Amino acid sequence: MKISEKINDTKEFIFQKTKIRPEIAIVLGSGLGELADSVKEAVRIPYSEIPHFVKSTVEGHKGELVIGKLFDKNILIMQGRIHFYEGYSMQEITYPVRVMSGLGIKKLILTSAVGGINKKYKPGDIVLIKDHINFTGDNPLRGEHEPEFGERFPDMTYIYNREMILKTHKIAKSLGIRTHIGIYLSTRGPSYETPAEIKAFRKLGADVVGMSVVPEAIVAHQSKIELLCISYVSNMAAGILKKTLSHEEVIETGKQVSKKLISLLNQLIKEI
């Protein structure tokens, strides 16, 4: 079955569950599930029930699609994302973005936990992504091309919407939230990086490192969806501080950051 045929199956299933036609989508990263609780007229669908979706298996990712209204905007929230390191293909982990495009999503906000490479950053800081380095060794556009998805060779010069970045930065400043604009480097995971790798990534120009975002960003950009990525520094990357890294730290920082990040997202949703 072609991916476009699967998307039609998924769309039909979702539209049977709700009359709301979302225009804005948010993908919530580790520890940020709370925002979905604010959605009005919410329909909640576990990924396990959605045709052709795969399950999220990571702690801190609920694995639920939430569709409803937030500040009178029709919204779709992925409460938990799917990662390459879970063993899925690039096409499987980006399938939800393909579905978003099919549903008519115009704007996509990705959130994620990241390790800080830039030594000016601190755990808890917000980073608005302006560009990325794909270090996964793969690309979600590889394989058979379906013309309805967009160009076969899409330009990647301006993946992240500059207008949305500047608007978000302005909002964050008004809320007193410490925010940076930086470059995201994506790895396969699930092991954290070595101190030597982090040194190399800094020389390449990366400010933060993570195990998501980039595959979704590539597909969203090919699909002509306006894209914003808001990352939060959950920990400093390996070798910067004299301590080891843990997923528990990521979850805990997510809980601490969630209040200010949710206030930022709420104000942003009001204004876009």
Which range of residues forms the domain containing residue 226? Answer: 3-271
In this structure, what token pair is assigned to residue 244?
């080891």
Q: Model confidence at 220, in pLDDT bands (50, 70, 90)?
A: very high
What is the number of domains present in the chain? 1
Most confident of the following: 60-69, 146-155, 255-264? 146-155
Residue type, 2: K
pTM over 0.85: yes
pLDDT of 249 higher than 70:
no
CATH code where residue 197 lies: 3.40.50.1580
Distance (Å, rounded) from C-alpha 231 to C-alpha 125?
8
Distance (Å, rounded) from C-alpha 210 to C-alpha 27?
15
Structure confidence by residue, pLDDT tens digits, 62-89: 689 999 999 999 999 998 888 899 889 9
Q: Which of 96-110, 204-218, 258-272 has the lowest mean pLDDT?
A: 258-272
Distance (Å, rounded) from C-alpha 13 to C-alpha 154?
30
- Show which residues are catalytic: 30, 61, 83, 85-86, 113, 211-212, 235, 247
Distance (Å, rounded) from C-alpha 89 to C-alpha 139?
10
Per-residue pLDDT, 180: 97
